[in-house]
C-alpha cells in the first residue's frame, strides 16, 4: 500500500519509519530544515533525534507531490492543525481515505477530531482514528506496542488495521470512534494531574487513586458523548491512561511535574518544544462537562491550575476536601 504520512512530528516520523518496513511510505514535513535533515542526514533532528530513518522512506516538502498516488493518508498534525491540514487536502482535491493520530478536543468548538473531519471532508468520508498507549520514542526503537484503530465503519477499520498491523506494532479494530477519541483526549488531562501529584510528593497511593478516579471521569464523559463502557477498559482507555500518567516520556505528565515545581505554563511549554495536547483539552473538556452536567473534579482542578491561576497545591487541597461518595463510575 502507498501511504503518505502528513506532518513529521515525533509520532508521524516514528509511524512512517515503522510502516516503511511493509509499505511504500512518503513522509511530508512543512518545515524546510526538517525536510533537509531527513533527506541529507536520514534523521529528524528537531522532533525525533537519534533515530535513523529507513533509506526506503521518501521525504517530501511539497504536499501535492506527497499525496499524489497515495492510497491512505495518515494525518499526524497536532489537533490544532487538523482542520487546516484537512482544508489543504480538500483544496488539492484529495479523496484518499485517511487516519488521524491527534488526540483532544478542538479549541473553542470543543469538537472531537471525527467531527472536524466530517465537517471538512464529508459525513461519509472513509476515515479512522488511531489511538492507544504509544510513545513515539519506543515505536522508533521497534519496541512492542499495541494500539486501536477506530471507525464508524467496522469493515473499514478491520481492513486498515490489517494493513497497518506489524509484528511489533499491533493494531486492533474498533467501531467505537467516540469512545476511542475520548479516551485518547482526556487521558492527557489526567496525565497532567498525575504529574502534579508526583511533583508534590504525594506518593504511589495517591497516584493510583488519581488514575482510578481519572478513569471514572473519562468513562462518564465518554458515555455522555455516546462511547461504550468496554472501550474505556481497553487500550484506548485504561491502557493509554496508565502509560501517560506513569511514563517519563509523557509530555503531559512533564507539564504537571513542572507546574508542581512552580514554573509558569508559558515557560513549561517553551522548554518542552513539543505540543502537550492536554493543556488545551483540559479547558474544552471542563467546559463541556459543565454544559452537560458531568461531575469531573480532577479535570476541573487541572483546568483551574492551567487557565485560571489557581496554585497546584491549592487545587489539590480542594480535591482532598471533597465529601466522600460511593465508588461508582
From the list 2, 111, 187, 325, the catalytic residue is: 187
CB 162, CB 189: distance < 8 Å: no
131: cell is 489511538
DSSP code for 54: P
Residues 6+ apart with CB under 8 A from 213: 298
The Cα–Cα gap between 183 and 215 comes to 9
The Cα–Cα gap between 288 and 300 comes to 11
What are the DSSP E strand ranges found in the chain? 2-6, 24-28, 43-44, 48-52, 58-60, 72-75, 98-100, 127-131, 145-150, 169-174
**Residue 187 is among the residues annotated as catalytic for this protein:** yes
Q: What are phi and psi of 23, to 5 degrees?
A: -125, 170
The Cα–Cα gap between 193 and 303 comes to 10
List b or e across 242-260, with b for residues whose CB sees 16 or more CB atoms inside 10 angstroms.
ebbbbeeebbbbbbbbbbb
Which among 102, 103, 143, 109 is positioned nearest to 7, based on CA atoms?
102
The Cα–Cα gap between 113 and 282 comes to 15
Q: Which residues are catalytic?
A: 187
Amino acid at each position: 500500500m502507498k501511504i503518505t504520512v502528513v506532518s513529521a512530528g515525533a509520532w508521524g516520523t516514528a509511524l512512517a519509519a515503522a510502516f516503511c518496513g511493509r509499505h511504500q511510505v512518503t513522509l511530508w514535513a512543512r518545515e524546510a530544515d526538517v525536510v533537509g535533515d531527513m533527506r541529507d542526514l536520514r534523521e529528524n533532528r528537531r522532533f525525533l533525534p537519534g533515530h535513523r530513518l529507513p533509506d526506503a522512506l521518501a521525504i517530501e516538502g511539497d504536499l501535492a507531490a506527497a499525496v499524489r498516488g497515495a492510497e491512505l493518508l495518515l494525518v499526524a498534525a497536532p489537533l490544532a492543525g487538523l482542520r487546516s491540514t484537512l482544508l489543504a487536502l480538500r483544496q488539492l482535491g484529495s479523496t484518499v481515505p485517511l487516519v488521524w493520530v491527534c488526540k483532544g478536543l478542538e479549541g473553542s468548538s470543543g469538537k472531537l477530531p471525527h467531527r472536524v473531519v466530517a465537517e471538512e471532508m464529508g459525513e461519509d468520508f472513509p476515515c479512522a482514528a488511531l489511538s492507544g498507549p504509544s510513545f513515539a520514542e519506543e515505536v522508533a526503537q521497534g519496541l512492542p506496542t499495541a494500539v486501536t484503530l477506530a471507525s464508524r465503519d467496522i469493515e473499514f477499520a478491520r481492513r486498515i488495521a490489517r494493513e497497518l498491523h506489524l509484528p511489533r506494532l499491533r493494531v486492533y479494530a474498533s467501531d467505537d470512534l467516540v469512545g476511542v477519541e475520548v479516551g485518547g483526549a482526556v487521558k492527557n488531562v489526567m496525565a497532567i494531574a498525575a504529574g502534579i501529584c508526583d511533583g508534590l510528593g504525594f506518593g504511589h497511593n495517591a497516584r493510583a487513586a488519581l488514575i482510578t478516579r481519572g478513569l471514572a471521569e473519562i468513562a462518564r464523559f465518554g458515555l455522555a458523548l455516546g462511547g461504550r463502557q468496554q472501550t474505556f477498559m481497553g487500550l484506548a482507555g485504561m491502557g493509554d491512561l496508565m502509560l501517560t500518567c506513569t511514563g517519563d516520556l509523557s509530555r503531559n505528565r512533564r507539564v504537571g511535574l513542572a507546574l508542581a515545581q512552580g514554573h509558569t505554563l508559558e515557560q513549561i511549554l517553551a522548554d518542552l518544544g513539543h505540543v502537550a495536547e492536554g493543556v488545551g483539552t483540559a479547558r474544552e473538556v471542563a467546559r463541556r462537562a459543565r454544559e452537560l452536567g458531568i461531575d469531573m473534579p480532577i479535570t476541573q482542578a487541572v483546568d483551574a491550575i492551567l487557565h485560571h491561576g489557581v496554585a497546584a497545591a491549592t487545587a489539590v487541597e480542594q480535591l482532598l476536601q471533597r465529601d466522600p461518595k460511593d465508588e461508582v463510575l
